[in-house]
Amino acid sequence: MNVRSTERLQGLAGRAEASRFAAGEHGAGVSRARRALLLVRDRTCPGGLRAGRVGAARWATLCAALAAMLVAGCGSPTEPGGNIDAGGSGADAGGGQVLISEDFSDHAGAYASGDTLGDFTVLRAVDEAVVAAAEDEGIAPHRGDNVLYFSAFEDEPGFRHSRLDQCVSLDPALPLSFDYHVYAAVDEITDDLRVRVNPNFYENVLGCEDDVLVDSTENRLEELGAWYNEDWDVRLESAGAEPGEWFHATASTDNAPSPDFRLEPEHYPSDTGAVRFSVRVRDDAFAEDESRRLYLGDLNLEQP
């Protein structure tokens, strides 16, 4: 198990203990996900509660890893090892940190809506999100060996589907920037091919992950004047992408409060402590040719 996965499991254990304190043991206010984590801490690990979202194998791995850490003294949120806000794929935010650096190298296979893909969750997939070796797709890899694509798109144009969402803590005193690489396996690039990044902000990772679990924005922070629900869209033709080549997206072509993929601290709502990084992919011409592919090579979020 890599360090990143271990850190996330430690965070889950800490949040389980936090839920126990907040809800008075197994109180009615505990969500389905938190209840499962509480039961993990009690070493019961029932497959029916959480296995449906992450798969039986990953559920068994999670239970075993959490149980091992508990035996070793993982600690509560007020003891060494406990961390209510741990989560995401980066180190603790602060002083200039990489929060997310995903190149899909540690994953393979097909993921349906609700499945976890590393620290991301697949949401509203029309069919599946697929991670495959770039060479098997007949393209040159970008950073890692693998690429991700959505195997189908909705008939009606829009960004409602084909999403990857991840929650991660941030330092509200630092700016936030992001970028990604995309590859269009098509004969001609048009603005039918689009990618959107939609950051939402939360007081902490726990509230954010509760929303992701049920595909909601109930806990999102909203404040007049803040960029709490803005979209950074890239239309590939307008952005200058070429067919059969990797394109590095660093600026929006439309629908953004500023073109650069960057937010300053004054753009966050008050009390921000976490961000929900949502990436959405769209191909409005897919119905005309279902062999078309729009590959993601990496997804990056940092606080420079």
- pLDDT tens digits, 78-94: 233 333 333 334 444 34
pLDDT at residue number 62: 54
Whether pLDDT at 207 is above 80: yes
pLDDT at residue number 80: 30
**Residues 273-290, mean pLDDT to the nearest whole number:** 91
Whether pLDDT at 32 is above 90: no
**Residues 165-189, mean pLDDT to the nearest whole number:** 96
Whether pLDDT at 302 is above 50: yes
Whether pLDDT at 26 is above 70: no
List phi, psi (to 5°) of 251: -150, 150
Per DSSP, 264 falls in state -
> CATH assignment of 97-303, given 2.60.120.260, 2.60.120.380, 3.30.450.70, 2.40.40.20?
2.60.120.260
Containing H/E element for 224? Answer: none
Specify the 3-state DSSP secondary structure of 244.
Answer: coil
- Alpha helices (H) along the chain: 3-23, 32-41, 47-54, 56-71, 205-213, 236-239
pLDDT at residue number 66: 53
Proportion of the chain above pLDDT 70, given as a percent: 67
**Residues 132-144, mean pLDDT to the nearest whole number:** 94
Sign of CA dihedral 81, 114, 210, 146: positive
Domain residues of the chain, as ranges? 3-71, 97-303
Q: How confident is the model at residue 271 (pLDDT cuts 50, 70, 90)?
A: very high
Whether pLDDT at 113 is above 90: yes
List phi, psi (to 5°) of 67: -60, -40
Residue range 55-82, pLDDT digits in tens: 444 445 555 555 444 444 433 332 333 3
The burial class, CB within 10 Å (0-12 / 13-18 / 19+), for 284 is middle
The radius of gyration computed from the CA coordinates of the chain, to the nearest angstrom, equals 19
